[in-house]
Chains A and B, each alone.
Chain A
Amino acid sequence: MNQIGFPLVSLAIALPALGALLVWLTPASQTRVARGFAMLSALGALATAVALVARFDASQAGYQLVDSVAWVAAWGLSYTVSVDGISLWLVVLTTLLTPVSLMASWNAGGAHPRLQQALLLLLAGAMTGVFVAQDMLLFYVFFELTLVPTALLIGIWGGDDRRRAAQTFLVYTFAGSVVMLVGIVGLYQAHGVQTGIYTFDLATVLASLQLGAVQLPLETERMLFAAFLIAFAVKLPLWPFHSWLTTAHTAAPSSGVVDIAGMVIKIGAYGLIRFNVQLFPQAAAWAAPAIGVLAVIGVLYGGWIAFGQRDMKRILAFATVSHLGLIVLGIFALNPQGLSGALLQMISSGITTGALFLIVGMLAARRDSRDVQHFGGIWGQAPFLGSIALVMVLASIGLPGLSGFIGEFTIMLGAWISPVLGWTYVSIAVIGVVLAAAYLLRMFRLVFMGPPREAGAPLRDANTLESLMLGVLLVPTLVIGLYPNALLLMMEPSVQQIAQQIGQTLASR
Chain B
Amino acid sequence: MSDLRWVIWLIPTLPLLGAVATLLLARGERAAGMIATAAAGLSFVATLVAVWVLQTMPAEAARIESVAWTWIDVASFRVSFGLLFDRLTAVMALLITGVGSLIHVYSLGYMRGDSRPERFFAYLNLFVAAMLLLVMADNLVLLFLGWEGVGLCSFLLIGHYFDRRSVPPGIVPAEAATKAFVVNRIGDAAFLLAIMLIFSRLGSVSFLPNATLGTPGYLERAAELAFVDVQLGPLGSIGVLTAIGLLMLIGVCGKSAQLPLSTWLPDAMAGPTPVSALIHAATMVTAGVYLIVRNHGVFSAAPTAASWVVGVGAVTALLAALSAATQFDLKRVLAYSTISQLGYMVAAVGMGAYAAGMFHLLTHGLFKALLFLAAGALIHALHDVQDMRRMGGLRQHLPFTFRVYLVGALALAGIFPLAGFWSKDEIIAHAWFTAQNPAIALILIASAAVTAFYMGRQVALIFYGQPREAHAAAHDPHGSMRWPLVVLAVGAAIGGVLNLPGVHWLSSWLEPTLAEPEAVYSVGKAVMAVIVTAIAVGGGYLGWWLYARVVDGNIVPGKTDPALYYLGDIWRGAELGWGLDWLYDRAIVRPYRQCSAFLGRVVDGEALDGLLVGGTGRTFVALARGVRAVQSGHARRGLAVFLLGVVVLLAALLAMTMR
Contacts and interface: CB of A to CB of B under 8 A. Distances in A.
A171 B639 contact: no
Interface string A413-456: 11011000001101100110110011001100100111110000
A178 interface: yes
Interface in A29-77: 74-75
B234 to A, nearest CB: 11
Contacts, number: 218
Nearest to B77: A337
A137 B69 CA distance: 43
A163 B642 CA distance: 18
A438 to B, nearest CB: 5
Contacts of A174: 620, 638, 641-642, 645
B192 A412 contact: yes
A19 to B, nearest CB: 22
Nearest to A339: B74
B582 interface: no
B634 A166 contact: yes
Interface in A299-354: 301, 304-305, 307-309, 318, 335-337, 340-341
Contacts of B159: 449
Given A148-B635, A485-B73, A172 B616 contact: yes
A448 B156 CA distance: 12
A267 to B, nearest CB: 16
A505 interface: no
A241 B612 contact: yes
Contacts of B192: 409, 412, 430, 433
B25 interface: no
B311 to A, nearest CB: 23
B145 A400 contact: yes
Contacts of A75: 653, 657
B635 A171 contact: no
Interface in B566-592: 592
Contacts of A16: none
Given A307-B593, A483-B69, A430 B177 contact: no
A144 B645 contact: yes
Contacts of B564: none
B294 interface: no
A16 to B, nearest CB: 20
Given A172-B613, A410-B77, A492-B74, A181 B645 contact: yes
B193 interface: yes
A246 B605 CA distance: 10
Contacts of A434: 182, 185-186, 189
Contacts of A241: 612
B559 interface: no
Interface of B: prevailing SS: helix
A148 to B, nearest CB: 7
Nearest to B200: A417
B74 A341 contact: yes
Interface residues of A, number: 90
Interface residues of B, number: 72
Nearest to A401: B145
Given A307-B596, A400-B144, A430-B189, A449 B182 contact: no
Q: Give the one of B163, B193, B608 with max A CB within 10 A.
A: B163
A496 interface: yes
Contact of B642 (A144, A379, A452, A492): A144
Interface string B133-155: 00000000100110011001001
A499 B638 contact: no
Nearest to B247: A427
B185 A437 contact: yes
Contacts of B155: 441
A489 B600 CA distance: 40
Contact of A178 (B144, B600, B645): B645
Nearest to B593: A308
B237 interface: no
Contacts of A189: 656
B600 A485 contact: no
A243 interface: yes
B70 interface: yes
Contacts of A166: 634-635, 638
B115 to A, nearest CB: 8
Interface in A147-189: 147-148, 151-152, 155, 163, 166-168, 170-172, 174-175, 177-178, 181, 185, 188-189
A307 to B, nearest CB: 5
A488 B70 CA distance: 11
A147 B637 CA distance: 12
A148 B145 contact: no
A170 B163 contact: no
A81 to B, nearest CB: 20
B340 to A, nearest CB: 26
A171 B595 contact: no
A247 interface: yes
A187 B201 CA distance: 40
Contacts of B597: 308
Interface string B383-395: 0000000000000
B621 interface: yes
B72 A406 contact: yes
B199 interface: yes
Nearest to B621: A171
A426 B195 CA distance: 12
Contacts of A275: none
Interface in A233-255: 240-244, 246-247
A357 interface: no
Contacts of B233: 424
A113 interface: no
B75 A335 contact: yes
Nearest to A441: B178
A410 B621 contact: no
Contacts of B656: 185, 188-189, 192
B186 A171 contact: no
A60 B657 CA distance: 35
A399 to B, nearest CB: 5
Given A399-B148, A401-B149, A405-B145, 17 more contacts: A163-B634, A167-B634, A174-B642, A243-B613, A244-B613, A305-B604, A336-B74, A379-B163, A380-B116, A423-B230, A430-B192, A433-B188, A445-B177, A449-B159, A450-B165, A482-B71, A485-B70
28 contacts: A167-B617, A167-B637, A168-B613, A170-B638, A171-B617, A171-B641, A174-B620, A192-B656, A241-B612, A305-B604, A337-B74, A337-B75, A337-B77, A379-B163, A380-B163, A394-B152, A409-B192, A413-B77, A413-B199, A416-B197, A427-B193, A434-B186, A441-B178, A449-B159, A450-B165, A485-B70, A485-B73, A488-B72
Nearest 5 CB-CB pairs, A to B? A308-B596, A449-B174, A170-B638, A400-B145, A336-B75
Interface of B: 69-75, 77, 81, 116, 141, 144-145, 148-149, 152, 155, 159, 162-165, 172-175, 177-178, 181-182, 185-186, 188-189, 192-193, 196-197, 199-200, 230, 233, 592-593, 595-597, 599-600, 604, 608-609, 612-613, 616-617, 620-621, 634-635, 637-639, 641-642, 645, 648-649, 652-653, 656-657
